[in-house]
Every structure is written in structure tokens, then in C-alpha cells.
């Protein structure tokens, strides 16, 4: 194919569930591309409806609406190829759930007409590989090309024909694929290879709606580059920006739309988290070889985490109508990082910081909380809770409980642990919730992932809030983020160094007195990594794996913590086992109940609590091989 193609990468912000707004954006971008003399404009997957919509897909009125807006996009394709994602509906067939059949579809339009219906049952292309892992549940909503092939009695490979479009007198053959179709490594079936066999193909276009995950772009570049080299055909990858959520979990979309030349080199890359229209001149004769390779930003560092979090906060808050927040600041690291992040996004006047001391809060942390508020320039209030907590304890323990039938009477006692939880709930459900309403906003949950994993928090207490922006960060990542905020974002010590140096503590009792170096029962330099193996390992680690690694001396290496740490922490195998069982029971026991009622979490890792971490409240379990291992390690005297 001996001509140059001017392609506009439309890295738009997709608003989920708003075909009206998305179509307006698309029509504007089409106009812009036309003014730039682009031959083709490429929008992301599900650009019209958005992707993460829950069961909105079951509303026929919504589907009709998406079709209607899709027609408007097609109508706007006069003189330009418009490639975009939308739901494709077959009103005459049903899906496996008995509802009208929906496809996750790729539309290609030109001069007001859809292309591609000549060699396919529909005038649009259909996703072959539908992800059903992590936050994805494509099979719940959409009928895949694999199922369609089975139904038609055809080979799925035969259905994967290029779409032929006429561009400036040339017959351009495009390999149209949707997101996961480019990630075929784990599937028995490879869509790009199948289309290539039905070639020639001049250009691959992958439209995606792919959430940000730490390190995912690095992997994508490896995976896509290899396939492009195999096919020897350039690839245009367009991903949206914005945020979308599944209720319990909020995902950012970083865009990072990329052009790969036929040699697999990245020759264009849109900036992360920015809505942009970028035009690339692709010489199809050389497969784009004339373009200079561009570097792609690393997405594995703390800077990427900061960008994802601040972007996520900046987009999520307006999406739910929140402009101001209240943050409880204890003088500890989590609330300090939270306050610094939100202040950066909303401006100091929209962030009310509140310190709520009881008798257990040290002068040190109270001073540091105040210092933080001064540094950030936020409005600040001190609301002591000691009086109210004592009132509640008194009210509970003095109230007579009576059986009115037989006159039996008793009263209830409040233990120190109960008093700790009363304190935590007093702060959040009594003070912060009321203050947030009065301030005209919401109050944040400052929990980190280490706490969330084992439920080291109080329900309706410090676990409460409208949004948990840090809850996908292990404690050590929170520290890294604190350093990054000081060094790179604020460029001065807005988070006092003393806060970073303080022993982590909930300060709910004198057993957690920071000034005596006492604090949390979680030893973060070890437990962060143990918990990560439970939660984030693709093949989830369980006590059986951990104990096996411990026995074989490869635990630190396998979970990634500092060498020598395990020996220093645990004097004996028995201590090691007790610690392991304690936290496994917490993670799979009470912590599940707490997570069920936890706020939405902002995702950054490859396994985030909420919808990406499906769990049942089934209680802890130890496999039979774990029990054997334990017995052999602790000696035969041990029962199960």
C-alpha cells in the first residue's frame, strides 16, 4: 500500500453511562480531525456508552439510546474514516441470559455509512476474547465472537476478516480488534494472527478501554510489539482517559495511546491521563518506518502512582458532586499523605482538616497535625472526643437491660477494646460525618492496603468515608508517596519529616503510645510483603505456600521483603506459624466483613480490594497439606 495515512488518535475522556456527552466530545473531535486533514480518526472501545456500567446493559432504553448516538457519529463521517467502539445490538437474537443480544463492537464508518458488513454477519466487528478476570466481566453482558461462531457453525478464524475501507482512492484493509484481542497470550486462539491469515492487512487498529495498572503499559508495549513484528504491519492503539467504576472500585484510565510501526517500535505515544487528539502521518509503504521512535513513560514508579491518584481524585469527586472534603488528621502518615493529595487537587480552602484527640493522643502527634495544617494552609479544627467517649461508655454500662416478662435485669460492661472502637466510631460517624455535611462535602477514608487486608480498622470508624484513595497502597508505598509529595510535588517539606519518622500507631490506647515507640501490631517491612503475596500474586499464596517457602528458606525471596528479616522477627518456627495464622485468619475472617462495608477504593495495583478481589464471607481455611507441613515443622506433639 503505497500511500501515507493521516491518523488522528482520539484519546478522549469517556464519561461512563453518558452517551450524550461522549457523542458530543466525539463530534467535536471529528471536526477537529477534519480541520487537520486527517484521513481517519480512531476512538476508544465503548467510546459512546462507556465500559464499566454495571447492569445498565440490561436497560433496553439505554441500548436504544447508544444506537441512536452511534448513528449520529456515523452520520458525521463525511470525508473521513471514523473508527469507534460502541455496543452492537442484535434485537432479533438473545444472549445467554435471555436478554437482547449485545456485542462489544468496533464500528468503522465513512461518508455516513458503516463498512465491514460485506464479509461479516454484522456491519460492525465483534470482540473475540472477552476478559472475565479482575474487574472485567465481559461475558456477563456481551456475546463473544467465539460464541457467535459456535452458533453459526463456522470457524471463528473465518469470521476474522479485515475491514475494507476506501481512503483517497486506495482500498485500505484494516485489522480491527478490541482491547483483549491484542492480549491473546493466555488464550488458545489468537485474533491478530487469524486476521493476518485472512490478509493482506495494511494496518491494525486496537481500540481499548484499559484501566491504569501499575506497570501495565510496560507489559503492553512488550506484548503488542512482539505481535506487530510477527505480523509486520503497523498498529494503532487508542485508549480512553477518565475514570470508571464498578461501585466498590474506581479505576483511572491513562490513555497512553500508542502507534507501533511494522517493526514493533513505538513511534507515537499520547501523554497519560490527558484528553488529546494526536495526528500521526503513517507511511503504509514502509510500515511507518520513517517515523522516529519515541520513549514511553515508565509506569512502575511512585510518580505514576501519584499521577494516577491525583487524576483519580480530580475526576471522581466532581463525578459524584463533591467539591470539598473533610479529613481527620491524626498526626500520622496516612492522613498526612491524604491531606497533601486532596489539597493539591482541590486547593487548601476546600480541605478541612480536623484533629480529634482523646487522652491517648500524644502531644507529639497533636503538634504534628497542627503543623501539617499550617504547612498546607487548610482550615483546621480541633474537636476533642474524650468527653463524648466517656459519656457513651457510661451510658452503655449504666443502662439497665430488663426482661419485661419476668423482670430479670442486668447491665453490660465495656472492655478496653470496646472503648477503642467507641473512640474510632466517635471520630468518624459522630464528628467527621457531621462536619462533612456542615462543610458541604464528604469525609475521606485514609486507610492503606495493609490495614484493609487484615481489617486493622473500625467499621463505621476509621474505615468509613466516601472514598478510600490510598487503600490500594501498601504502607511502604504510602511512605514513598510522602517522600515524593515533599520532593517532587510540593518541593518542600509540607509533610513534616517527623511524621515520616514516627512509629505507625492508631493511638487508641496507652499500649500504642508513639512517644514510647509503641504502635501497630503490623510489622510493615515484613507483613506488607506477606499480605501482598496473599492478595496480589496471580496464583494467590496461602499459608501452605508460605510455610513451604519458609521451610525451604526461600520465603523472603519469594515475597520480596528484606533478606534476614524473618529470622530477626521470629525466634522460632512456632512464633512464625502463630503470626502467619493470626493474619491469615484476620484477612479471610473479620476483614472480609469489614471490606463488604468499606468505601470505594481507588485502584493502582494489579489486584485491588472491591470488585477486583471477589471474596465470600466464608471464614479462614487451612488445607490438609498446610496442616501436615505445620505438624512436621513444629514436631509431632502438635495437633491440628
Residue number with CB closer to its own copies (118 or 406): 406
Q: Is 438 near its own copies (CB under 8 A)?
A: yes
Which one, 75 or 412, has the nearer CB to its own copies? 412
Contacts of 437 (CB under 8 A, 6+ apart): none
Binding mask 10-49 for its own copies (x = CB under 8 A): ------xxx-x-----------------------------
Site string for its own copies, 452-491 (x = CB under 8 A): -------xx---x-x-------------------------
Stretch of residues binding its own copies (CB under 8 A), selected from 112-120, 219-227, 419-427, 503-511: 419-427
Instruction: Give the SS3 label for residue 441.
Output: coil
Q: Which is nearer to its own copies, 422 or 522 (CB)?
A: 422
Residue 281 CA to residue 284 CA, distance in Å, equals: 9
Q: Which phi-psi region, left, alpha or beta, contains residue 440 (left: φ > 0; alpha: ψ -120 to 50)?
A: left
292 scored as a contact of its own copies (CB under 8 A): no
**Nearest distance in Å: CB 129, its own copies:** 7
Helix or strand run (H / E) with residue 364: helix 363-376
CB of 35 to its own copies, least distance (A): 27
Show Cβ contacts of residue 405 under 8 Å, excluding neighbours closer than 6 positions: none
Q: Which of residues 108-147 bind its own copies (CB under 8 A)?
A: 129, 131-133, 137, 139-140, 146-147
**Who contacts 72 (Cβ-Cβ below 8 Å, separation ≥6)?**
23, 27
Residue 374 in the binding site for its own copies (CB under 8 A): yes
- From 119, 166, 516, 623, residue interacting with its own copies (rule: CB under 8 A): 623
Q: How far apart are CA 162 and CA 193, in angstroms?
A: 12
User: Looking at beta carbons only, is 572 or 618 nearer to its own copies?
Assistant: 618
Residues 75-114 within binding reach of its own copies (CB under 8 A): 94-100
> Which CB, 99 or 497, lies closer to its own copies?
99
Q: What are phi and psi of 89, to 5 degrees?
A: -110, 130
CB of 361 to its own copies, least distance (A): 17
456/484 with CB nearer its own copies: 456
**Does 211 interact with its own copies (rule: CB under 8 A)?**
no
CB 414 within 8 A of CB 375: no
Nearest to 52 by CA among 182, 179, 237: 179
> CA-to-CA distance for 447 and 461, rounded, in angstroms?
11
Strands 100-110 and 81-94: antiparallel
Q: Which of 624, 635, 637, 639 binds its own copies (CB under 8 A)?
A: 624
How far is 381 from 370, CA to CA, in rounded Å?
9
* Distance (Å) of CA 21 to CA 27, 250, 252, 316: 10, 20, 18, 17
60 near its own copies, rule: CB under 8 A: yes
396 is a contact residue toward its own copies (CB under 8 A): yes
Kindly state whether residue 410 participates in binding its own copies, applying the rule CB under 8 A. yes
Shortest Cβ distance from residue 404 to its own copies (Å)?
4
Q: Which of 9, 167, 195, 388 binds its own copies (CB under 8 A)?
A: 388
- Helical packing angle, 475-484 and 302-319, nearest 10°: 90
Taking CB under 8 A as the rule, does residue 299 contact its own copies?
no
Q: What's the CA gap between 476 and 482, in Å, rounded?
A: 10
Which residues, numbered 169-188, are part of the site for its own copies (CB under 8 A)? 185-188
CA-based nearest residue to 454, from 518, 514, 524: 524
Footprint of its own copies on 536-595 (CB under 8 A):
538-542, 544-545, 592-593, 595
If DSSP codes are grouped into helix, strand and coil, which group holds residue 540? coil
CA–CA distance, 212 with 219 (Å, rounded to integer): 12
Member of 75, 232, 289, 402 binding its own copies (CB under 8 A): 402
Total residues contacting its own copies by CB under 8 A comes to 131
Assign 485 to helix, strand or coil.
helix
Q: Which of residues 569 and 592 has its CB atom nearest to its own copies in the complex? A: 592
3-state secondary structure 103-150: EEEEEEEECCEECCHHHCCCCCEECCCCCCCCCCCHHHHCCCHHHHHH
Give least dist CB 52 to its own copies, A: 5
Q: Is 289 in the site for its own copies (CB under 8 A)?
A: no
Exactly one of 292, 405, 491, 564 binds its own copies (CB under 8 A); that residue is: 405
Residue from 190, 202, 307, 430 that binds its own copies (CB under 8 A)? 430
Nearer to its own copies, 321 or 564 (CB): 321
Rounded Cα distance, 528 and 331, in Å: 22
Binds its own copies by CB under 8 A, chosen from 79, 169, 295, 400 = 400
Any idea what DSSP says for residue 598?
A: P
Amino acid at each position: 500500500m503505497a500511500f501515507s495515512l493521516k491518523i488522528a488518535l482520539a484519546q478522549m475522556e469517556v464519561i461512563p453511562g453518558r452517551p450524550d456527552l461522549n457523542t458530543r466530545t466525539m463530534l467535536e473531535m471529528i471536526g477537529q480531525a477534519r480541520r487537520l486533514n486527517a484521513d481517519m480518526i480512531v476512538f476508544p472501545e465503548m467510546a459512546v456508552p462507556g465500559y464499566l456500567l454495571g447492569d445498565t446493559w440490561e436497560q433496553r432504553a439505554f441500548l436504544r439510546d447508544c444506537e441512536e448516538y452511534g448513528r449520529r457519529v456515523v452520520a458525521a463521517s463525511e470525508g473521513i474514516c471514523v473508527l469507534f467502539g460502541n455496543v452492537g445490538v442484535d434485537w432479533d437474537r438473545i444472549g445467554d441470559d435471555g436478554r437482547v443480544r449485545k456485542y462489544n463492537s468496533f464500528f468503522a464508518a465513512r461518508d455516513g455509512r458503516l463498512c465491514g458488513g460485506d464479509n461479516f454477519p454484522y456491519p460492525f466487528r465483534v470482540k473475540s476474547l472477552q476478559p472475565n478476570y479482575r474487574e472485567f466481566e465481559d461475558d456477563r453482558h456481551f456475546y463473544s465472537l467465539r460464541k457467535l461462531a459456535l452458533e453459526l457453525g463456522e470457524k471463528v478464524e473465518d469470521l476474522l476478516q479485515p475491514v475494507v475501507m476506501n481512503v483517497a482512492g486506495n482500498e485500505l484493509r484494516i485489522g480491527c480488534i478490541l482491547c483483549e484481542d491484542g492480549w491473546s497470550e493466555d488464550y488458545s486462539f489468537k485474533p491478530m494472527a487469524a486476521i493476518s491469515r485472512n490478509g493482506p492487512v495494511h494496518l491494525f487498529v486496537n481500540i481499548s478501554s484499559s484501566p491504569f495498572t501499575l506497570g501495565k503499559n510496560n507489559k503492553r508495549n512488550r506484548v503488542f510489539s512482539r505481535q506487530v513484528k510477527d505480523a509486520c504491519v503497523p498498529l494503532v492503539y487508542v485508549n480512553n482517559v477518565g475514570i470508571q467504576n464498578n461501585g466498590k472500585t474506581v479505576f483511572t484510565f491513562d490513555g497512553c495511546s500508542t502507534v507501533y510501526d511494522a517493526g514493533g517500535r513505538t513511534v507515537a505515544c499520547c501523554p497519560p491521563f490527558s484528553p488529546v487528539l494526536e495526528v500521526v502521518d503513517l507511511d503504509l509503504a514502509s510500515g511507518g518506518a520513517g517515523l522516529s521512535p519515541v520513549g514511553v513513560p515508565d509506569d512502575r514508579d511512585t510518580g505514576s502512582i501519584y499521577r494516577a491518584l491525583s487524576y483519580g481524585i480530580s475526576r471522581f469527586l466532581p463525578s459524584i458532586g463533591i467539591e470539598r472534603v473533610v479529613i481527620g488528621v491524626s498526626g500520622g502518615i496516612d492522613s498526612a499523605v491524604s491531606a497533601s493529595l486532596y489539597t493539591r487537587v482541590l486547593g487548601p480552602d476546600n480541605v478541612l482538616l480536623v484533629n480529634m484527640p482523646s487522652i491517648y493522643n500524644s502531644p507529639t502527634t497533636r503538634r504534628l497535625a497542627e503543623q501539617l495544617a499550617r504547612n498546607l494552609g487548610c482550615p483546621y479544627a480541633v474537636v476533642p472526643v474524650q468527653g463524648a467517649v466517656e459519656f457513651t461508655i457510661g451510658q452503655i454500662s449504666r443502662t439497665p437491660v430488663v426482661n419485661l416478662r419476668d423482670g430479670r435485669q442486668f447491665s453490660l460492661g465495656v472492655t478496653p477494646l470496646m472503648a477503642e472502637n467507641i473512640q474510632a466510631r466517635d471520630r468518624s460517624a459522630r464528628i467527621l460525618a457531621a462536619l462533612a455535611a456542615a462543610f458541604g462535602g464528604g469525609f475521606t477514608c485514609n486507610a492503606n492496603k495493609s490495614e484493609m487486608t487484615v481489617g486493622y480498622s473500625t467499621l463505621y470508624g476509621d474505615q468509613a468515608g466516601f472514598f478510600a484513595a490510598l487503600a490500594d497502597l501498601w504502607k511502604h508505598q504510602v511512605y514513598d508517596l510522602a517522600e515524593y509529595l515533599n520532593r517532587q510535588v510540593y518541593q518542600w517539606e509540607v509533610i513534616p519529616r517527623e511524621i515520616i519518622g514516627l512509629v505507625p500507631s492508631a493511638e487508641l490506647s496507652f499500649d500504642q503510645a508513639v512517644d514510647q515507640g509503641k504502635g501497630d501490631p503490623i510489622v510493615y517491612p515484613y507483613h506488607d510483603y506477606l499480605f501482598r503475596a496473599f492478595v496480589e500474586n496471580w496464583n494467590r499464596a496461602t499459608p501452605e505456600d508460605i510455610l513451604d517457602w519458609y521451610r525451604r528458606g526461600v520465603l523472603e525471596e519469594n515475597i520480596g521483603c528484606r533478606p534476614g528479616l524473618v529470622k530477626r522477627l521470629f525466634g522460632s518456627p512456632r512464633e512464625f506459624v502463630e503470626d502467619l495464622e493470626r493474619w491469615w485468619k484476620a484477612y479471610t475472617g473479620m476483614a472480609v466483613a469489614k471490606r463488604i462495608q468499606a468505601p470505594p477504593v481507588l485502584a493502582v495495583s494489579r489486584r485491588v480490594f472491591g470488585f477486583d478481589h471477589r471474596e465470600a464471607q466464608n471464614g479462614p481455611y487451612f488445607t490438609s497439606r498446610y496442616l501436615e507441613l505445620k505438624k512436621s515443622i513444629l514436631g509431632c506433639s502438635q495437633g491440628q
